[in-house]
Chains A and B, each alone.
Chain A
Amino acid sequence: MGTRRLSAADRIYSSLNYTVLIIFCLTALYPFIYFLALSFNDGYDAMKGGIYLYPRVFTLENYSKAFNNPQILNAFWISISRTVIVTLCSVMLTSMLAYGLSRKGLPGRKYIVFFFFFTTLFSGGLIPTFILYRQIHIIDTYWVLVLPVLYDFFNAIVMKTFFDGIPPSLSESARIDGASEMQVFARIILPLSMPVLATIALFVGVGVWNDWFTGQFFISKESLQPAATFLNKMISEASFQTMTGSGSSGSGIQNMSQSQMELRGVTPEALRMTFVIIITTPILCVYPFLQRFFVKGVLVGSLKE
């Protein structure tokens, strides 16, 4: 068997492989390109169809309407503030938990781990959780957006695994030098753990940013609804319109809250496309830069479901 024939076969396989991968990547990207084009296109013109890659009648009107709409702005404000608060608190609290669990020789650790781990295997379910929220009066308050998502034990395991990899001699020598446990944690463990902290911050942040459920079922005040829930309401309105066949432009949003929504010159659908781009952009700007960090986190996290 000559090496030459092998390399020719190799080249065929390789180019085939590249072709399939490129098609795959286009499939992953294309829906966003489609929406990007539609979001920069005049909404009424878009109704004629034929916009697939780039805008035909370019306009910034959709974005300017979106960014000047008090309801949309408020939804994003809720999402942004919630994401920042939850991410900071969660990373902080989770790292404390993980540090506690990673202490070698901690009396009763086996039982403590079981206490947390069991909650990942069994849960009370939706209704008991709902009743709890009502009993502690967090339904329809900002608290319900923050408190229930502060901990995820899998994140704690990811962090603990990372902490376990830090040479114990570092913290031991600091303790001998008289450092308190808080100092060891804040000055030695945390600074060495930036990769895992960034990973968990990404996981938590994305999860909170994308969470539409809490806003949908535990919040009825419009002023507290996060962006993802807002989008969901936009699409359910739209699909209802499609279902009943009442108009192609999905005038539901206009009916929904015409008083607050100044939609002149912009179709609800164009606004929806724009909303999707706006809500996706922050994620798009963050995750590629954390890619090298999160791979390790996934190894543990993928056993989640």
Chain B
Amino acid sequence: MIVNEAKIEAIPIPEKKTKSDVWAKVWRFRHAYLFMLPAVIWYLVFSYYPMYGVLIAFKDFKYNLGILGSPWEGLRFFKQFLNDSNFYSVLKNTLSISGLKLLFGFPAPLILALMLNAVMRSKVKRIFQTISYLPHFVSWVVVVTLMQKILSPNVGLVNDIREKMGLDAIFFMGLPKLFYPLVISSDIWKGIGWGSIIYLAALTNIDPHLYEAAEMDGAGRWSKLFKITLPTLVPTIGILLIFSLSGILNAGFDQIWLMQTPATLSVSEILDTYVLKTGIQQGQFAYSTAIGLFKSAISLVLIITVNKVAKKVSDVSLW
């Protein structure tokens, strides 16, 4: 049912009408068009113009020559990054981080939702929920500040505990081997409550009579969970899963950018951060745009494919 809500249904335009009929209809809806006009202009400028701007991936871009005026370079920049050993490590990091997030982060909200669903007192449940949403609403900047202090080698909570236990203080944020665990756990910490909303909504749609009938038949806690609750959630889980698969090249720019330190670059450089560094910080506009385009193009193909598969398998889709 989530998907139905997200579905953008298109009402077929009645065909076979005379031209004047169509224009009369358009005229009748002139206010509706007028309402959408600012949005159309905004999207042309802020979304479509940059899409046209990806042309610079194929050009030797010079500001004074403009996007069209700059000389063509063909696929030079694509060849350049495909021959760049950095690129493969960046791609590997991106896929590792989003893969791990999927593996560990995906089931977390589901488990929380099931646990919350088992809380009978609705007031208590609401308090739990409210608290669980809190981390979602704070900025990654704040989350990373919290982490840096808690994990700080100088008077940070965790290292204080370690020292009390007779262990040495560790500079957590600077160790490559701890980078992924920290990324995954902070991602779960931030997103688990928010992610559970969608499952909780699906859970409230379960007819309570089903449970009552099952109890009459002697079904226990676990058989109710596996025979009623989880099967109800399968469509939701499936949809969320395949759509997170289509976002596999997004490892989470904000989080990674803010968490990475020079010491962890070998594992923490992802496509988005690499694009930003090569582009804005080093000024290699064309090269950076080429990598960005590579990423957006693959993501586009992924989401279209995934949507097609979803439509076929489960009859639910984004469009």
Task: Name which residue of chain A comes closest to B254, CB basis.
Answer: A213
Q: Which of B9-17, B84-92, B227-235 touches A? A: B9-17
Complex Cα distance, B221 from A181, in Å, reads 55
Residue pair A28, B132 in contact (C-beta under 8 Å): yes
Interface flag for B104 (CB, 8 Å): no
Complex Cα distance, B236 from A299, in Å, reads 10
Task: Name which residue of chain A comes closest to B112, CB basis.
Answer: A24
A125-B275, A151-B42, A210-B141 known; A113+B157 contact, CB < 8 A: no
The count of residues in chain A whose C-beta lies closer than 8 Å to any C-beta of chain B is: 106
Residues of B within 8 A of A119 (CB): 43, 47-48
Give the residue of B12, B50, B193 whose beta carbon is less than 8 angstroms from that of A123.
B50
Complex Cα distance, B275 from A282, in Å, reads 33
Task: Name which residue of chain B comes closest to A117, CB basis.
Answer: B8
Interface flag for B39 (CB, 8 Å): yes
Task: Name which residue of chain A comes closest to B133, CB basis.
Answer: A287
Residue pair B51, A124 in contact (C-beta under 8 Å): yes
Interface flag for B137 (CB, 8 Å): yes
Residue pair B26, A107 in contact (C-beta under 8 Å): yes
Q: How far is the CB of B303 from chain A (nearest CB, A)?
A: 6
Interface flag for A279 (CB, 8 Å): yes
Residue pair A115, B134 in contact (C-beta under 8 Å): no
A128-B289, A283-B137 known; A96+B171 contact, CB < 8 A: no
Residue pair A132, B276 in contact (C-beta under 8 Å): no
Q: Is the interface of A mostly helix, strand, loop or mixed?
A: helix
Complex Cα distance, B133 from A24, in Å, reads 12
Interface flag for B6 (CB, 8 Å): yes
Q: Give the total number of A-B pairs whose CB atoms are below 8 A apart.
A: 295
Give the residue of A13, A234, A288 whose beta carbon is less than 8 angstroms from that of B118.
A13
Residues of A within 8 A of B218 (CB): 1
The count of residues in chain B whose C-beta lies closer than 8 Å to any C-beta of chain A is: 113
Residues of A within 8 A of B214 (CB): none
Complex Cα distance, B25 from A225, in Å, reads 48
Residue pair B280, A28 in contact (C-beta under 8 Å): no
A24-B132, A29-B131, A243-B174 known; A126+B52 contact, CB < 8 A: no
Q: How far is the CB of A19 from chain B (nearest CB, A)?
A: 11
Residue pair B138, A283 in contact (C-beta under 8 Å): yes
Residues of B within 8 A of A (CB): 2-3, 5-6, 8, 10-13, 22, 25-26, 29, 31-33, 35-36, 38-40, 42-43, 45-54, 56, 61, 63, 67, 112, 115-116, 118-120, 126, 128-135, 137-142, 144-146, 148-150, 152-155, 157, 160, 171, 173-174, 189, 193-195, 197-198, 200-201, 218, 220-221, 239-240, 243-244, 247, 250, 254, 258, 261-263, 275-276, 279-280, 285, 288-289, 292-293, 295-297, 299-300, 303-304, 318-319
